[in-house]
Amino acid sequence: MLKNQQVPSPARLWALLAVIGAASLALDLWTKQWVWDTLRPTGDAWVVWSPWLELDFAYNRGSAFGLVRRLDYPLLLALVTAGLIAWIVATARSPGAGRLRFAAAGLVIGGALGNLHDRFFRDDGLGNAGVVDFIRVNFPWGGSWPSFNVADAALVVGVVLLAWTLRGRPDAAA
């Protein structure tokens, strides 16, 4: 921490977590709805940065970037998500936690809730629950990374930042 920098109050840290969590959740839900309404009906991909980045509708009934092909136990997933959120909150409350850890926790919570929302409230019309994925990063040698969404990106960034803050370094100044 810098000499002139104040330690943030617990209320401000929790507000930071809530704002980042709510913002990542809102952005995720809004972008998924936009993709559902705009890209799904046409089947057209939007090229954002040729040939590297495209927006293209994909409906993922599995999890973990499509590595698990089908997820038939949404209630179990909800319980695991609740446990994860409880652990994240407990981790954020631990000594030495600062802005970066609370921001990371907000990203993880917002991302987890965004994908959980899809599992419970989105249906492909055939009774299959799933998650809307739409961001596709293409490799220069061909092929692409599995499609993902804003919630997935928030989860990955949040987990990386959270792991960084848990390496034994206080992040009060971050």
End-to-end CA distance of the chain: 8
Catalytic residue among 28, 44, 72, 133: 133
Question: Which position among 44, 56, 72, 152 bears the catalytic label?
Answer: 152
- Tell me whether residue 28 is one of the annotated catalytic residues: no
Alpha-carbon distance 144 to 136, whole Å?
7
Known catalytic residue at 133: yes
Coil/strand/helix, residue 47: strand
Handedness of CA 103, 11, 86, 77 (dihedral sign): negative
Other CB atoms within a 10 A radius of the CB of residue 3 amount to 4
**Hey, is 137 helix, strand or coil?**
strand
Strand partners, 58: 133
State the catalytic residues: 133, 152
